[in-house]
């Protein structure tokens, strides 16, 4: 049986505190900055309704920070001078940038949670072993989060596993790039 798993992404936005040089969502300005979480808060992200009565969607992971090596700091944050800075120009170290306004630098990080379809009546596999603070390295998801203001749903293929296997792991991504190539 091949499982169809789909990661959902939520973008966390913050302004960099000029004194501490750390991201601080309390510094976001209403009507200028995006909300703290886009498109919605993690707590407001729910499973879709299944169109097939034989299957339900279940979460197979906790919310996890997406960290792409060398593109984000250890906590998954990326930094820029403005929100409309092209994705390729965001950096992992805020010290590499000079604020261009009194509002300071902006930052964002991506949170990912994976869901899959599960046959109704089957005991779901408890695959929530990672901590909410653990980071994952999924560059394909990062490439597909263009502006950071959308929920990304990217099909993910799992290796064939028994439906009741404990500890099954997400092993591969199948996703195109958003670069129009």
pLDDT score for 141: 52
Give the pLDDT confidence score for residue 150 in this predicted structure.
32
How wide is the angle at C-alpha 150 spanned by C-alphas 87 and 43, nearest 5°? 120
More confident residue, 62 or 100: 62
Is residue 64 over pLDDT 90?
yes
pLDDT of residue 172 exceeding 90: no
Termini Cα distance of the chain: 33
The model's pTM: 0.68
Nearest to 103 by CA among 167, 175, 18: 18
Burial 117-138 (b: 16+ CB within 10 A, else e): bbeeeeeebebeeeeeeebbeb
Beta strand 64-66 with 78-80 is unpaired
Reported as a single tens digit per residue, the pLDDT across 32-57 is: 999 999 999 999 999 998 888 898 89
pLDDT of residue 155 exceeding 80? no
Query: Per-domain residue ranges for the chain?
Result: 4-173
Please determine, for residue 153, whether its predicted confidence score (pLDDT) is greater than 80. no
Q: Can you list the pairs that 96-105 forms with residues at least 24 positions away whose Cβ atoms lie under 8 Å?
A: 99/18, 103/15, 103/29, 103/32, 104/15, 104/16, 104/17, 104/18, 104/27, 105/15, 105/16, 105/79, 105/80, 105/81
What tens digit of pLDDT does each residue of 84-107 get?
999 999 999 998 898 887 778 999
């Amino acid at each position: 049986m091949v499982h169809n798993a789909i990661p959902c992404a939520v973008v966390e936005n913050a302004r960099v505190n000029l004194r501490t040089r750390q991201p601080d969502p309390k510094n976001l300005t209403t009507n200028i900055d995006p909300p703290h979480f886009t498109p919605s808060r993690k707590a407001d992200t729910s499973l879709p309704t299944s169109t097939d009565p034989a299957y339900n969607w279940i979460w197979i992971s906790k919310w996890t920070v997406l960290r792409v090596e060398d593109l984000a700091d250890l906590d998954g944050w990326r930094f820029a001078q403005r929100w409309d800075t092209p994705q390729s120009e965001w950096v992992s170290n805020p010290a590499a940038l000079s604020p261009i306004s009194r509002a300071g630098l902006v930052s964002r990080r991506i949170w990912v949670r994976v869901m899959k379809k599960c046959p109704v009546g089957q005991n779901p596999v408890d695959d929530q072993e990672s901590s909410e603070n653990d980071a994952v390295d999924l560059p394909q998801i990062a490439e597909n989060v263009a502006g950071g203001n959308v929920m990304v749903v990217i099909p993910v293929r799992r290796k064939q596993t028994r439906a009741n296997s404990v500890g099954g792991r997400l092993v591969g991504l199948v996703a195109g790039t958003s670069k129009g190539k």
